[in-house]
């Protein structure tokens, strides 16, 4: 690492936050896998955080990893949406330091006052959101402002978790559910834009003029509205059947959208099929989670399919594509990243199956976690030069 490479790291949101997200995805899963393995061997686990290991696992992958991805995406995309300058490097350095402070506060929460932990952790998304809002207000568009509303729901889920931990009457598991659903809603919104758009652009570049992806606005609204409503009704504590029905509807409509996006054409192009596959798994996860909240099937299985297959796969696909495009490199996934695109959905399916088989549960969970670790290690190693190195000569792509 040289002073020049460090300066480059803090020059763009995709550089610092997509690197932090990848590193933390590996670290957080290693902690969880170690905890499971030690307990399976009959040992006991003691870490510095105040919560049970499974609660730390849920919180940190939703509000640690998830928040880093959101920050990297929005701080990269918003200047392109508005035509305004990106934030200065000092802002990226400060924002990333606050994110790291949140992770350290939660990690050492057994030794810190719960209110202090909450304050440090909860400040990150408002800082990112406020900066993005200042850009969007100069050229406001309802569709983009809606994204900030969903991020407010995500932040509220985190506040509910901390409310439980400080003894203020919150429900930590409810907060985790809200967080997963809010992230899945962002994928319904943003994945529903970029997946057909990138596929269309790739088709047009080959000279294709017919049978292009179709993305009807009304169908998009029919998927997005119930997804947002599901997060909101879950947050305010309505009976689980209500957000369950809304989530299932959102997932079914999202699958109907996906069927119009010509996913079959993308075979052989990992940087495209990964978007289609992850959007489909996100939609399927919404359906199965919604059914579980209505008493049909396993909630744990549905939530993990949603979190790993939908959120994990889509964020990996979007981070890698945005990093390549905005760094001026060709939009072709490096071989290790292409492998990672396949490993994360495989991990989701194995974790889903493990929930249905008590005898294979522990082995399935450990295997799924191992595949996740390998996938994100491949991502970090393959794109390490992208995060730290100089830009290529191509023009940046839109995130």
Give tens-digit pLDDT for 96-122: 999 999 999 999 999 999 999 999 999
To the nearest 10 degrees (0 to 180), the angle between helices 66-82 and 124-136 is 10
Overall average pLDDT of the 118-139 stretch: 95
Q: Quick one: pLDDT band at residue 399, thresholds 50, 70, 90?
A: very low
8 A C-beta contact, residue 53 and residue 104: no
**For residues 86 and 82, what is the distance between their CA atoms, to the nearest angstrom?**
10
**Does 43 have pLDDT greater than 90?**
no
Domain ranges of the chain: 3-204+214-388
Output the six-digit token pair for 252: 């079914």
Report H helices in the chain: 3-9, 13-40, 53-59, 66-82, 89-107, 114-122, 124-136, 142-165, 172-186, 192-205, 217-235, 241-258, 270-293, 299-304, 313-326, 335-355, 361-388
Q: Quick one: pLDDT band at residue 393, thresholds 50, 70, 90?
A: low
**Does 159 have pLDDT greater than 70?**
yes
Q: Quick one: pLDDT band at residue 139, thresholds 50, 70, 90?
A: confident
Overall average pLDDT of the 126-155 stretch: 93
Output the six-digit token pair for 194: 């970029």
Output the six-digit token pair for 264: 């079959």
pTM for the model: 0.95
**Does 396 have pLDDT greater than 60?**
no
Q: Report the chain's mean pLDDT, rounded to a whole number.
A: 94
**For residues 219 and 247, what is the distance between their CA atoms, to the nearest angstrom?**
15
**For residues 92 and 9, what is the distance between their CA atoms, to the nearest angstrom?**
9
Q: Quick one: pLDDT band at residue 397, thresholds 50, 70, 90?
A: very low
Which position has the higher pLDDT, 275 or 45?
A: 275
Which position has the higher pLDDT, 84 or 319?
A: 319
Q: How many CB atoms lie within 10 A of CB 193?
A: 12
**Does 398 have pLDDT greater than 80?**
no
What is the fold of 3-204+214-388?
Cytochrome C Oxidase; Chain A (1.20.210)
Output the six-digit token pair for 364: 């399935």
pLDDT digits (tens, 9 = 90+) for 353-387: 998 788 888 899 999 999 999 999 999 999 999 99
Which position has the higher pLDDT, 273 or 38?
A: 273
Calculate ∠ Cα 282-341-283, nearest 5°. Answer: 10
**For residues 181 and 54, what is the distance between their CA atoms, to the nearest angstrom?**
18
Overall average pLDDT of the 72-79 stretch: 95
DSSP state of 169: S
8 A C-beta contact, residue 391 and residue 5: no
């Amino acid at each position: 690492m040289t002073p020049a490479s460090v300066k480059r790291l803090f020059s763009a949101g995709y550089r610092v936050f997509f690197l932090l997200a990848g590193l933390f995805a590996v670290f957080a899963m290693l902690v969880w896998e170690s905890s499971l393995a030690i307990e399976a061997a009959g040992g006991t686990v003691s870490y510095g955080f105040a919560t049970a290991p499974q609660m730390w696992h849920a919180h940190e992958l939703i509000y640690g990893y998830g928040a880093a991805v959101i920050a990297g995406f929005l701080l990269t995309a918003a200047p392109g949406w508005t035509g305004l300058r990106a934030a200065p490097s000092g802002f990226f350095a400060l924002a990333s330091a606050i994110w790291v402070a949140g992770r350290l506060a939660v990690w050492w929460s057994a030794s810190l006052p719960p209110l202090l932990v909450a304050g440090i952790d909860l400040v990150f998304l408002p800082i990112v959101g406020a900066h993005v809002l200042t850009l969007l207000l100069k050229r406001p568009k309802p569709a983009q402002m809606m994204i900030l509303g969903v991020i407010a729901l995500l932040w509220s889920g985190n506040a509910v978790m901390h409310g439980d931990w400080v003894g203020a009457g919150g429900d930590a598991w409810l907060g985790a559910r809200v967080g997963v659903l809010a992230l899945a809603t962002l994928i319904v919104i943003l994945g529903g834009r970029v997946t057909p758009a990138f596929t269309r652009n790739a088709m047009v570049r080959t000279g294709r003029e017919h049978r292009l992806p179709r993305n009807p606005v009304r169908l998009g609204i029919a998927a997005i509205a119930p997804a947002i409503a599901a997060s909101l009704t879950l947050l305010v504590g309505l009976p689980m059947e209500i957000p369950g029905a809304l989530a299932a509807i959102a997932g079914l409509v999202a699958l109907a959208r996906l069927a119009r996006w010509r996913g079959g054409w993308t075979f052989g192009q990992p940087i495209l099929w990964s978007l289609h596959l992850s959007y489909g798994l996100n939609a399927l996860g919404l359906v199965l989670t919604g059914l579980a909240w209505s008493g049909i099937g396993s909630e744990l299985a549905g939530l993990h399919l949603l979190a790993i297959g939908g959120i994990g796969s889509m964020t990996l696909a979007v981070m890698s594509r945005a990093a390549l495009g905005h760094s001026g490199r060709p939009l072709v996934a490096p071989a290790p990243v292409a492998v990672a695109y396949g490993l994360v959905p495989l991990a989701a399916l194995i974790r889903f199956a493990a929930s249905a088989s008590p005898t294979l549960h522990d082995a399935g969970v450990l295997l799924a976690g191992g595949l996740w670790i390998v996938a994100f290690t491949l991502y970090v190693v393959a794109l390490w030069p992208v995060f730290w190195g100089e830009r290529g000569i191509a023009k940046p792509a839109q995130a």
